[in-house]
Amino acid sequence: AEIISEKLHIPTISTGNILREAIKNGTETGLKAKSFMDAGKLVPDDVIIGIVSERVAQPDCANGFILDGVPRTLPQAEALEAAGIHFDRVVSIEIEDAVIEARMTDRRVCGSFHLTAHPPKVEGVCDVCGKELIVRKDDAPETVKNRLKVFHAETEPLKDFYEKLGVLKLVEGNQPIEAATRDI
């Protein structure tokens, strides 16, 4: 999403990033979201729908935007359609659970890095801002398992929803970043 966002000069809106920022800043939304996120559960739909509707109404979204990690439930998808927020394309990045579980172990965040797929120039340090890279609490193996369970139950059915709207594209996710970017 970050690479395509730069190419197309449109913003990426990641609800996960917005929520993590809200937690860091101790906002009301952050307080509501924290326990769900730490447990690998979904944050309630009304919180998410509010965040997205507000964000896509900003002027920098006038020429388009990429949503990352949202919608994740049928009510979220329906609410976005009902609010007139329609998508040209919906990309489902297809990867086996076992591969995801292995990948999450090596993920480091601040800017976005991965120890094998996209390592930082200096170990443990963000190339972008120089701050320490961290392991996301919800990338702990047990929490990842729970997130995958939630994904299959709540989010995967959205593929049918967007297939019916004629906008779904499947992309092979078990390949290097450059190849996945090209396919997307």
Amino acid at 58: Q
Spatial CB neighbours of 155, under 8 Å, sequence gap ≥ 6 = 72, 73
Q: Which residue number, 40 or 173, has a Cβ lying nearer to ligand AMP?
A: 40
Residues numbered 145 to 164 that lie near ligand AMP (CB under 6 A) are 147
How many residues of this chain interact with ligand AMP, rule: CB under 6 A? Answer: 17
Q: Which of 15, 65, 85, 113: binder of ligand AMP (CB under 6 A)?
A: 15
Cα–Cα distance measured from residue 148 to residue 162, given in angstroms and rounded to the nearest whole number: 20
Spatial CB neighbours of 67, under 8 Å, sequence gap ≥ 6 = 12, 13, 14, 15, 52, 87
Q: Which residue number, 19 or 126, has a Cβ lying nearer to ligand AMP?
A: 19
Coil, strand or helix at 131:
coil
Q: Does 126 bind ligand AMP (CB under 6 A)?
A: no
3-state DSSP helix/strand/coil % of the chain, to nearest 5 = 50, 15, 35
Q: Which stretch binds ligand AMP (CB under 6 A): 1-9, 64-72, 90-98, 165-173?
A: 64-72
Q: Does 111 bind ligand AMP (CB under 6 A)?
A: no
Cα–Cα distance measured from residue 57 to residue 63, given in angstroms and rounded to the nearest whole number: 11
Q: For residue 26, report the phi and psi dihedrals to the nearest 5 degrees.
A: 65, 30
Q: Which stretch binds ligand AMP (CB under 6 A): 3-11, 71-79, 113-121, 123-131?
A: 71-79
Q: Does 69 bind ligand AMP (CB under 6 A)?
A: yes
Q: Which residue number, 109 or 115, has a Cβ lying nearer to ligand AMP?
A: 109
What is the rounded end-to-end Cα distance, in angstroms, of the chain?
9
Q: Which stretch binds ligand AMP (CB under 6 A): 14-22, 23-31, 112-120, 168-176?
A: 14-22
Residues numbered 18 to 57 that lie near ligand AMP (CB under 6 A) are 19, 36-37, 40-43, 48
Q: For residue 71, report the phi and psi dihedrals to the nearest 5 degrees.
A: -75, 155
* Least CB distance to ligand AMP at residue 109 (A): 9
Binding site for ligand AMP (CB under 6 A): 15-16, 19, 36-37, 40-43, 48, 69-72, 76, 138, 147
